[in-house]
């Protein structure tokens, strides 16, 4: 007997049949199965900072073990407000403008479910972080894609303008960008902001890599939050998280910053999705978000060193790299290897070479657009990156 396809199974929802499980997370399982060096899913294999871990343990010891306030413990929200003021220069009211969520993953979907009605359009730059497509389906949004074009991942302003229309509810801007490593310039951000205002649209900004930037001479590599721009504070939901900045992706603590009315709606959705994020980890978050600037400077330097280790390794192995200005991924072009597509290449790389990456097609609405691209992450120990370098010696071209 054949298993009915999900769309025909009356026990499954139409929405759930419209997307697959995460390819990124699947690659981690494949890496474990075949003993590959895992440069696929973006999580560090080095320790989280000792002092932050200690604060979490102390909180459990102090019996911070029951539900926190649904939208976040007061000390954590206060710390978020202070840090946002000092880093972005934005004053936010922790009582009415912050919702603490289970990672930015929940923050994004809660924000979309709180604001988007069926049939309304949400603009997404592609290649995109793969969650955004299921987020759109689950929140009944109709996604409209606008290309970021290699090698510098710029967008065509006419294409973006033509995509905005009366049905546009929002645009998602992931800045610094996963998977491309693009850091949007002020000019680009202002252009997007202008369209949001012209069409009365919202902006969801995913800023979880806000501290992972690689300045270079002659380029403007600064983190600009959409909420900082004139006229945008009232129409922006900033989605952020402890995951990447403090190397605690498994803690699942994130947050949304939005004007009070939108925050009220996000809090309701969040309450019934998850009730709240882990209370003792929010206590540690209050400490983490109060760390001095030196913490962020060191984070940036360490990531820059890792990027500068992996880029030449990939080039040497035959990849064409798109060197990132931010975040901790390197998109590459694999056309010189002669594989039919990215999935076949990735399978070969995991099983025969022993290095895991993410097939580029998982970042595009049209898989063919990413068929000659794969993404590597470099949030790993030097020894892990060096082990990958040794294994790449086995990688042969198929021409």
The residues of the shown chain that bind ligand PLP, judged by CB under 6 A, are 42, 103-105, 129, 174, 178, 206, 208, 241, 243, 249, 254
Nearer to ligand PLP, 19 or 199 (CB): 19
CA 237 to chain CA mean position, Å: 15
Calpha distance 313→318 (Å, rounded): 9
List C-alpha distances in Å: 359 to 89, 228, 346, 369.
38, 34, 6, 11
What's the closest the beta carbon of residue 395 comes to ligand PLP, in angstroms? 25
Question: 214-234 b/e with 16+ CB inside 10 Å = b?
Answer: beeeeeeeebbbbbbbeebbe
Query: In sequence order, what are the residues at sequence separation of 6 or more whose Cβ sits closer than 8 angstroms to the Cβ of residue 76?
Result: 68, 100, 282, 283, 285, 286, 289
What's the closest the beta carbon of residue 174 comes to ligand PLP, in angstroms? 5
CA atoms 201, 207, 210, 214: torsion sign: negative
What's the closest the beta carbon of residue 251 comes to ligand PLP, in angstroms? 8
Radius of gyration for the alpha carbons in the chain, expressed in angstroms and rounded? 21
What's the closest the beta carbon of residue 176 comes to ligand PLP, in angstroms? 9
What's the closest the beta carbon of residue 36 comes to ligand PLP, in angstroms? 19
CA atoms 51, 57, 63, 64: torsion sign: positive
Q: Among 307, 388, 396, which Cα is nearest to 38's? A: 388
Nearer to ligand PLP, 204 or 319 (CB): 204
Nearer to ligand PLP, 59 or 248 (CB): 248
Nearer to ligand PLP, 241 or 332 (CB): 241
Q: Among 232, 219, 223, 165, which Cα is nearest to 192's? A: 232
What's the closest the beta carbon of residue 129 comes to ligand PLP, in angstroms? 4
For 196, the token pair is 């949001």
Contact 262, 237 (CB under 8 A): yes
Nearer to ligand PLP, 104 or 263 (CB): 104
When CB distances to ligand PLP are compared, the closest residue is: 103
List C-alpha distances in Å: 100 to 230, 250, 279, 281.
25, 16, 10, 11
What's the closest the beta carbon of residue 179 comes to ligand PLP, in angstroms? 8
Nearer to ligand PLP, 127 or 259 (CB): 127
Calpha distance 266→116 (Å, rounded): 11
The count of residues in the chain is 399
DSSP assignment of 349-382, as one string? IIIII-EE-EEGGGG-SSGGGGTTEEEEE--S-H
What's the closest the beta carbon of residue 42 comes to ligand PLP, in angstroms? 4
- In which residue are the tokens 């002669």 written? 338
Parallel, antiparallel or unpaired: strands 37-38 and 355-356: parallel
Nearer to ligand PLP, 209 or 337 (CB): 209
Nearer to ligand PLP, 233 or 244 (CB): 244
What's the closest the beta carbon of residue 124 comes to ligand PLP, in angstroms? 12
Nearer to ligand PLP, 121 or 130 (CB): 130
Packing angle, helices 293-317 and 382-392, rounded to 10: 10
What's the closest the beta carbon of residue 207 comes to ligand PLP, in angstroms? 9
Q: Among 36, 16, 23, which Cα is nearest to 138's? A: 16
Nearer to ligand PLP, 76 or 129 (CB): 129
């Amino acid at each position: 007997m054949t298993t009915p396809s999900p769309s025909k199974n009356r026990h499954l929802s139409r929405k759930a049949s419209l997307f697959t499980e995460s390819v990124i997370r699947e690659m981690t399982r494949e890496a474990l199965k075949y003993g590959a060096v895992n440069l696929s899913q973006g999580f560090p294999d080095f320790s989280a900072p000792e002092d932050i871990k200690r604060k979490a343990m102390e909180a459990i010891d102090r019996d911070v073990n029951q539900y926190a306030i649904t939208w976040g413990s007061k000390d954590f929200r206060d710390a978020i407000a202070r840090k946002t003021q000092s880093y972005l220069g934005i004053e936010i009211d922790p009582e009415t403008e912050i919702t603490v969520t289970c990672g930015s993953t929940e923050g994004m979907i809660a924000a979309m479910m709180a604001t988007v009605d069926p049939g309304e359009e949400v603009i997404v730059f592609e290649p995109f972080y793969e969650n955004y497509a299921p987020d759109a389906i689950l929140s009944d949004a109709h996604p409209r894609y606008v290309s970021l074009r290699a090698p510098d991942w710029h967008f065509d302003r006419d294409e973006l303008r033509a995509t905005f229309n009366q049905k546009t509810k929002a645009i998602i801007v992931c800045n610094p960008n996963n998977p491309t490593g693009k850091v949007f310039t002020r000019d680009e951000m202002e252009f997007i902001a202008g369209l949001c205002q012209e069409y009365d649209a919202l902006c969801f900004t995913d800023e979880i890599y806000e501290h992972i930037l690689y300045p270079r001479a002659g380029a403007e590599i600064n983190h600009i939050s959409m909420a900082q721009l004139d006229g945008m504070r009232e129409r922006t939901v900033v989605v952020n998280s402890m995951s990447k900045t403090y190397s605690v992706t498994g803690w699942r603590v994130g947050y949304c910053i939005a004007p009070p009315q939108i925050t009220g709606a996000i809090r309701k959705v969040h309450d019934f999705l998850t009730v709240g994020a882990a209370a003792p980890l929010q206590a540690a978050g209050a400490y983490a978000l109060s760390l001095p600037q030196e913490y962020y400077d060191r984070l940036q330097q360490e990531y820059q060193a890792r990027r500068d280790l992996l880029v030449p390794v990939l080039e040497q192995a035959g990849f064409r790299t798109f060197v990132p200005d931010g975040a901790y991924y390197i998109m590459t072009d694999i056309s010189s290897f002669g594989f039919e597509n990215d999935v076949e290449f990735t399978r070969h790389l995991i099983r025969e070479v022993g290095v895991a990456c993410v097939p580029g097609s998982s970042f595009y609405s049209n898989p063919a657009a990413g068929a000659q691209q794969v993404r590597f992450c470099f949030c790993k120990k030097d020894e892990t990156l060096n082990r990958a370098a040794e294994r790449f010696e086995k990688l042969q071209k198929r021409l």
